[in-house]
Amino acid sequence: MQIILYGTRGSIPVCESEYRQYGGNTTCIFVRVRDCIFILDAGTGIRNLGKELAKCKKTDCPNVFLGFSHFHWDHIQGFPFFLPAYDNSREFTITTISREAKFKNVKNIFKTQMRKEYFPIPLEKMGAQLNFLYEDSDNFSVDSINITTAEHNHPGGALSYRIEANGKSFVFCTDVEHGNSYDERVLELADGADLLIHEGMYTKEEMIDREGWGHSSWQQAIEVAKLAKVKKLIITHHDPDHDDKFIRKQEKLSKDLFDDVEFARDKMEINI
């Protein structure tokens, strides 16, 4: 399983020079298993991913699925700039895999996002065939790849994903507020994962006056990784006010608390 992080910033993209080491694009993760591609979230990182994907022949990547943790602005704002969606020879399946999904009509979300008041080209005029698939289940399988989702705590609701293939497992959990205990649904989903990408937007100290904002500290991400006994942890959804120097310092501190931990950078690639 190949995983590439195209966007690792939380809330809003940043482009100043002191943010370039970790990167400024909002959330977008590319996952490839054989000829199946899963794109998780369409933050501004999807623009660069789209340019890469546009170079590959349709026959090299026949199955492309898009899934979403949730639809807050920083997780969808790149979608209108996803180049392959303007290619009428391509086809994408936009999925909602959850019994408890708050938003079942995802088409409506993107239709609204691309209304002429907000964007010049409407959804129907993009060109590619966009199939909207609602699975009224927490599981979805395609070509021996299993996807499981779990709802977690975030204002408006959000989903964590577990993707399993070839005996390996990857879990993605962003925009989650654990509160004083750890969300059991996340711990269960992440149990024994080879790779966990978990948000850690704030520091432990910053969390004190950010109750109800829907996020975690990086120290909480480490605690989840320990409790769920995951092998490797990547911390993502960096606060747009945390520059490279600040994140470097937190990353150094994190390595005293967990063996295999890194802070996410745009274009980081992991193979499991």
In the complex, the residues that contact Zn ion under the rule CB under 5 A are 10, 72, 74, 175
Hey, what are 94's tokens?
């936009």
Range list of H helices, 34-169: 45-55, 106-113
Of the pair 48, 236, the CB lying nearest Zn ion is at 236
Q: How many whole angstroms separate alpha carbon 146 and alpha carbon 169?
A: 9
The nearer residue to Zn ion, 63 or 113, going by C-beta atoms, is 113
Q: How far is the CB of 63 from Zn ion (least distance, A)?
A: 27
SS3 164: strand
In the complex, the smallest distance separating the C-beta of residue 41 from Zn ion, rounded to whole angstroms, is: 8
268 strand-pairing partners: 5
Q: Which is nearer to Zn ion, 176 or 189 (CB)?
A: 176
Smallest gap from residue 259 Cβ to Zn ion (A): 27
Residue 211: CB atoms within 10 A of its CB come to 10
- At closest approach, how far in Å is the CB of 207 from Zn ion? 16
The closest of 186, 142, 129, 179 to 162, measured between CA atoms, is 186
Closer of 138 and 175 to Zn ion (Cβ): 175
Q: Which residue's CB comes closest to Zn ion?
A: 72
Q: How far is the CB of 70 from Zn ion (least distance, A)?
A: 6
Rank residues 74 and 266 by Cβ distance to Zn ion and give the closer one: 74
DSSP 8-state assignment for residue 178: -
3 state SS for 195-238:
EEEEECCECHHHHCCCCCCCCCEHHHHHHHHHHCCCCEEEEECE
State both tokens at 15: 């482009």
